[in-house]
Amino acid sequence: MSNVRLRRLAADYEKLKEYVRLHPRVSLLQVVGDPPEKFQLQYVIKSVRMQNQEILPIQNHTVEISLPRNYPRTPPQCRMLTPVFHPNIAPHAICVGDHWSAGESLQSIIMRIGEILAYQSYNLKSPLNGEAARWAEENCDQFPLDRVSLLPEEEAPAKPAPQTRPAPGTRQTSQTKAAPQTKTAPRAKPASEGYKILVCPNCEARYRLPETFDKKKVRCKKCEEIIDLSGV
């Protein structure tokens, strides 16, 4: 295994662990390899499945993602381990898009799968499941089935400890007297290497996105406002 591939796999794994730590609806169940080349993830997202010709709601999903030998030149291989009724999901594969570049992050694929499960994303022109495509076309007014945002929420910075004041009737000595503080303009929190920070213009919620994140619009987790990323 080349050093380039090893570094990429290790970096993907670290970013994936950080993503599932920040997102309450996605969890990492199992990994294979060192550094990992195969992952099992659990999503808690409202979707549907077909059982005995009946469409039933489902909320818990298990997904397997395998990184082939030529990754990242070739895309990850994704499949469901639990049943889902969706135009772009077959028993053997999840169609996460026709275009892949080596610079695309594993996290963006994981977010896209969540959006597919929630019926926030679906393609009826070239479906893997024709029956699900017909159902989706007839019931598109019900979508999305889940409005969850797959953005990883940026943690709020820790608040400074409140300053204590001397009790009434006491005097501060020159040794304990606090120096006057100079007010400075607030500075934006820098993103970690390989990430950029997105701030919702409506509610000011903060999200951490990979530098290679290429979607044009996302939904805020807090206020559900659609955020246009074309100018970011």
Residues 10-60: pLDDT tens digits? 999 999 999 999 999 999 999 999 999 999 999 999 999 999 999 999 999
**How high does pLDDT run on average in the chain?**
84
Residues 6+ apart with CB under 8 A from 137: 124
Share of the chain above pLDDT 70, in %: 78
**Residue 84 pLDDT greater than 70, yes or no:** yes
Which pLDDT score is estimated for 184? 38
Q: Domain 3-142: give its CATH architecture.
A: Roll (3.10)
Instruction: Tell me the domain boundaries of the chain.
Output: 3-142
Higher pLDDT, 168 or 14: 14
Judged by phi (left if over 0) then psi (alpha if -120 to 50, else beta), residue 50 lies in beta
**Residue 6 pLDDT greater than 50, yes or no:** yes
**Residue 191 pLDDT greater than 80, yes or no:** no
